[in-house]
Structure 1
Amino acid sequence: MSIITQLIHSIPVDPQTGAIAVPIYQTSTFVQDAPGVNKGYDYARSNNPTRETAEKIIAGLEGGAGASAFASGLAAIDAVIKLLKSGDEIIAVDDIYGGAFRLFDKVYKKFGITVNYVDTTDVSTIFHAITPATRLIWLETPTNPTLKISDIEAVAKLAKAHNILLCVDNTFASPILQQPLELGADLVVHSATKYLGGHSDLIAGVVISKTEQLAQEIKFYQNASGAVLSPFDSFLLIRGIETLPLRIRVHNDNAQRLAEFLEQHPLVDKVYYPGLKSHPGHELAKRQSKGFGGIISFTLKEDTTAAATTFVTSTKYFKLAESLGGIKSLVAHPAAMTHKSIPDEKRRAAGVSDSLIRLSVGLEETGDLLEDLRQAFDKLAVQQAAHAATASAASN
């Protein structure tokens, strides 16, 4: 059975009414037959039929024992870190999502949980960073925003040999392209706001666990902390997932064409996209994923914030906005937007330069997106020529 057919038919028909769409159980509480005797639900924070259905669908997609849905991707990350205690250490990818860095550095650091940021594309670097206090390895692959690729299977073997949990942020790839649990990871997180939801109309996060024990621990923290996904957003998430395989196919095709165009453009310095043979993780990405995703990052030859700002404010179809993974194309300047919470020195060391631009390639016609990039580059070229002429006149 294909994954598309499997996904569509994993969404249940309502047994009570026959509704082919999952109902929205917009209720805070449930009537009990007797004290402590209920139909599987007592209070909507603890469980809700709509959210439960979304969790089961996503657990099935990732091949996990269970999933827990949260009110945001950061709430999902927060639940994973709650598995640790004071004195524990995390080894994390150096090119990390800014929100995760802020959570690690500004919240959990003061509780005695420390993070060592390393280049996880080199497994030996992870090995040398392990200490007796290391309890968790945190991977993003591809990373946000420079799209580094880490060997999930190799890191999983290393983690298992040292009795360390491995969590993979699978947001950029989605379960359609990459299956971290099958490659040995213990936990997978998603900002379901992105590709799982797919329409830029909800905020959500999910943690998928490989074992029933981990699933129950995460479920406990979901209930104890209370950052649960609402019934209506659970419904939106299910609706978005229904078309996930079809959307990912177009995201991939469009991004490949645009990355090839960018690689040849004279104003572009470097393109980060795993689908390009020039990408250092290209062969690894081919082995562990079924596609290269819809995110492209690139730097300009003029490595300045001003040049990047000109470009990102000149596009028409690529809307300047935070987030990614929706049907509409988006453009972002990570240094000033998604990664502004990371100190400049650390940000630049991880490859997030002043001119780095991130594209979330949507479902528009490829030709229209290519033309949009061309006209934005034309505007940048005109501005650069004007600045050069002004500088030349001033020197004379």
Structure 2
Amino acid sequence: MSTADWSPRTRAITAGRPAGPDAPMNVPIAPASALGLGYAREHGTETWAAFEDAIGQLEGGTAVAYASGMAAISAVFDLLPAGAEVAVPGYSYVGTRDLLDYAERTGRLRGRRIGPTDTAGWVAAAAEADLLLLESPTNPTLDPMDIAAVAEAARAHGARVVVDNTFATPLGRQPLALGADLVLHSATKLIGGHSDLLLGLVVSGDEELAGALREARTRAGATPGVLETWLALRGLRTLPVRLAAASETAALLAERLAAHPAVWNVRHPPGTMIAFELADAAAADACCAALSLIQHATSLGGVDSSMERRAARPADSHVPAGMLRFSVGLEDPEDLWRDLESALDEVDGARNTGSVARS
């Protein structure tokens, strides 16, 4: 049986694994700063190579690992000439928007913000922008984006399309197959899966572009730590089962949240993330404070469930005030629901008695 016939679930476990009858079961950690007369930052290590090979196989391209997701985004921006225009969703990862804001303030790049679901606006922007950075779905509002339509328009005008695939993961979507030029990942999140590392990835369908990304990594010194890379590869091995279990739980919780009287506008694209709204900021903050199992934390994509009101952060103040972003982990679904229901009932009861002030 050819390895090309294996399913993504199988390849997530086997890709990058040492070959041969006497090879180790796992890729070794290679803590080497120099390789002969060269530095590891220039040539990579066998640990990096195995991880990049595995992600590349799943995304259908060539992967380049970075020290963090932000380093990966920075590398993509560094490929652009001075004065280039970058379009990003109005609701999108705060780090991406912060980086673009800085590039605008310093005169390095020009920015454009477009509503995530405004596909006509994105298609029109493809005629003027140099780079269109999409998310699948958006962070934190979980809006869907039409990657294929935007990519088709971009090809007609020579624009480059980049898709942040962190929430969907390579098992949920392969943007290169939909026409994207590059795929971004914060491997800190679902790929690593245990909230214990920082790592980023860019995947390219073009070898020349992948080479430019490696050069950008070397120049900036944005190389990944060998232990972090090894941990991320180990996390990738369990991604299929983690993603399936957490997604199943998320679907159950989203259905129950939609039926709760304190909740509306529940958004749950396939996957592990849920966004839902309460009456206002005070209600959302009270809900987070009342949780005992679900962690009130900004991290996401780990085995532990977490929740956060993103509008509490200044850079995300335009997000609906009562919206909560919920990352579903691997705890027992009924335990998670009891925690959620108790917190929501407490908030709903307080609001009905007038003890929670509106913001």
Aligned pair 1:163/2:158, yes or no? yes
Q: Give a deviation string over 1:173-210, Cα, whole Å, max 9, x none.
A: 00001010011100000010011101111111100001
Structure 2 letter corresponding to 1:335: A
Which of 299, 313, 320 aligns to 1:323? It is 299
Task: Give the equivalent residue in structure 1 for 2:325.
Answer: 358
> Quick one: distance in 2 between partners of 1:2 and 1:267?
41
Task: Give the equivalent residue in structure 2 for 1:293.
Answer: 271
Task: Give the equivalent residue in structure 1 for 2:55.
Answer: 58
Contact 1:14 1:23 in 2 (8 A): no
Q: CA shift at 1:144, angstroms? A: 0.6
Q: CA shift at 1:86, angstroms? A: 1.5
Q: CA shift at 1:160, angstroms? A: 0.3
> Quick one: distance in 2 between partners of 1:142 and 1:104?
19
Q: Give a deviation string over 1:8-48, Cα, whole Å, max 9, x none.
A: 2213226696221111111211235xxxxxxxxx3121212
Contact 1:14 1:22 in 2 (8 A): no
**After TM superposition, where is structure 1 displaced by more than 6 Å over at least 4 residues in a row?**
14-17
Structure 1 letter corresponding to 2:73: I
Task: Give the equivalent residue in structure 2 for 1:314.
Answer: 290
Q: CA shift at 1:67, angstroms? A: 1.1
Q: CA shift at 1:295, angstroms? A: 0.4
Q: Give a deviation string over 1:283-329, Cα, whole Å, max 9, x none.
A: xxxxxxxxx010001111x22x2211110111122101112111110
Contact 1:329 1:361 in 2 (8 A): yes
Contact 1:194 1:200 in 2 (8 A): yes
Question: SS where residue 175 of structure 1 aligns?
Answer: helix
Aligned pair 1:378/2:352, yes or no? no
Q: Could you say if the C-alpha distance between residues 217 and 109 of structure 1 is closer, same or farther in structure 2, counting changes exceeding 3 Å?
A: farther
Contact 1:69 1:204 in 2 (8 A): yes
Unpaired segments of 5 or more residues in structure 1?
A: 33-41, 275-291, 392-396
Contact 2:250 2:328 in 1 (8 A): yes
Question: SS where residue 67 of structure 1 aligns?
Answer: strand
The TM-score, its normalising length taken from structure 2, stands at 0.93
> Quick one: distance in 2 between partners of 1:229 and 1:68?
10
Task: Give the equivalent residue in structure 2 for 1:123.
Answer: 119
Contact 1:45 1:223 in 2 (8 A): yes
> Quick one: distance in 2 between partners of 1:85 and 1:30?
33
> Between Structure 1 and Structure 2, whose CA radius of gyration is higher?
1
The TM-score, its normalising length taken from structure 1, stands at 0.85
Question: SS where residue 189 of structure 2 aligns?
Answer: coil
How do residues 202-241 of structure 1 correspond to structure 2 at under 5 angstroms? 202-241=197-236
> Quick one: distance in 2 between partners of 1:10 and 1:128?
39
Which of 4, 9, 15 aligns to 1:10? It is 15
Task: Give the equivalent residue in structure 2 for 1:150.
Answer: 145
Unpaired segments of 5 or more residues in structure 2?
A: 1-5
Number of equivalent positions: 352
Structure 1 letter corresponding to 2:323: L
In angstroms, what is the RMSD of aligned CA positions?
Answer: 1.9
